[in-house]
A and B are shown apart, each in its own frame.
Chain A
Amino acid sequence: MKQLLTAMVARLGLSIEIAKVPLCLLVGLSALFGNIFAAGRIEPHASYTFVSVLVLACGGASLNSWQERVDDSLMARTRKRPLVQGTLSTTHGLLQSALLLTAGLGGLLFLTNSRAFFAGVLGIASYNLVYTRLKTVSLWAIFPGALCGAIPPCIGWLAAGGKAFSSGLMLVMALLFFWQIPHFLLILLRYRHDYAGAVAPTLLNRLSERSVQRIFLPWVTALATTMITFTILPTATGGAAGMIIIANAAILVTVFGRQLAKRPHPDYKVLFHLMNITLLLFMLAAAAGRVAVEV
């Protein structure tokens, strides 16, 4: 009995691993942010949206793990993944992704609304059918990939009843788009030796590490500028939240500028964590400020 329980826990751990839960949590939080920002307050549909998008993202990530199981075996960073090692069967991976995708899309359809559901379908289709396939043939695949990353807050926005073609949604999506590109470039530089043996074409095939470092600064400054745009919306953040957003953006640009301009080999791990923390802090401050304005 104990052995069976241990085996089940181990299997659950492997399932969580192919679902890339930590990354999907960030995706779910971005949907929650879009939802609260559109509604101006925290309502029950915010939690439904968060859970549905989290489950949907886990489904998409599981399917991605299944789709890339052969390519993953070529890189040290990914070759220990369960589907590559065979510790989980490909059938398990496929069934898990089907189950999670159905649950996530079902949650959006039955707990939120049809527009959020269609945005979810679009997000999964563009991630698993377009981006995952395109990235093995083109280094420009990062752009459709970044657009996929901008869809979760769009789902949250639509689930709250926000309008589809609006400047508020455009701004929220631009934020996530501008965050995705440097985030991806940091992964590329952090695992640059690993990517040298990968099948996917990358910028490092054409440019030096120094050149890729230079590309960061405009993207990070664009991200910071987009963050600050939120502070001037009359219906959005102001006061303390606005000051936190500005300080957050200023720290982001300063740390990146210092790391990339002064050091020949910046600490990419630190910059990677900084990017994640900056986004989380921004979403927290912007959502809190938005709710405070509404109250």
Chain B
Amino acid sequence: MAVGLGNGFGWVLALFLVLFAGVTGAVTVRAWRQGAHAQAGDSGGLLLEIVWVNMPLVIVIALVCCWLFFQPEPGFAAGAERRSAGDHVGGFPGSGADSAANQSVDHSAGRHGTSTYGPKSSSRP
């Protein structure tokens, strides 16, 4: 997904990522210190706590790696992606051109189909 790290809020995200990593590290250390003397006979409990504390960081890293590796598209609805990409030529909401561009909406049937990927007739469930 193309992201605008320099669009003004990118630094806030960077700050929160640092905070997130810092919080995870600090909580892990605290759990280790308190668990080491409080639960001397229960290393399983300490391990369980550390796994739970670090799991969100692992999930975030996995998601970022997945994003970097596969580079998936944003995947917004077809009409929305066209508008977001700046393709506004006669395509503002409500105009005929926009309705034509947004082929995923089957107005005649009153339903929203998957015809982004093919002709309308083949998209009906």
Contacts and interface: CB of A to CB of B under 8 A. Distances in A.
A43 B73 contact: no
B110 interface: yes
A170 B34 CA distance: 36
Contacts of A188: none
Interface residues of A, number: 64
Contacts of B34: 210
B50 to A, nearest CB: 10
B1 interface: yes
Nearest to A253: B19
Contacts of B12: 228, 231, 246
A275 to B, nearest CB: 15
Given A168-B1, A170-B63, A246-B12, A232 B7 contact: yes
Nearest to A172: B75
Interface stretch (A59-67, A216-224, A265-273): A216-224
Interface centre among A164, A169, A178, A211, by most chain B C-beta atoms within 10 angstroms, is A211
A218 B111 contact: no
Interface string B46-73: 0011001111110110010011000011
A116 to B, nearest CB: 8
A207 B13 CA distance: 32
A166 B80 CA distance: 14
A166 B66 CA distance: 11
A161 B23 contact: no
14 contacts: A44-B110, A112-B111, A163-B73, A166-B76, A168-B74, A177-B59, A210-B34, A211-B31, A211-B45, A215-B27, A221-B56, A231-B13, A235-B80, A238-B8
Interface of A: 37-41, 43-45, 109-115, 117, 157, 159-171, 174, 177-178, 181, 203, 206-208, 210-211, 214-215, 217-219, 221-222, 224-225, 228-229, 231-235, 238, 242, 246, 249, 253, 293-295
Given A163-B75, A169-B75, 5 more contacts: A113-B125, A167-B75, A211-B49, A215-B49, A222-B60
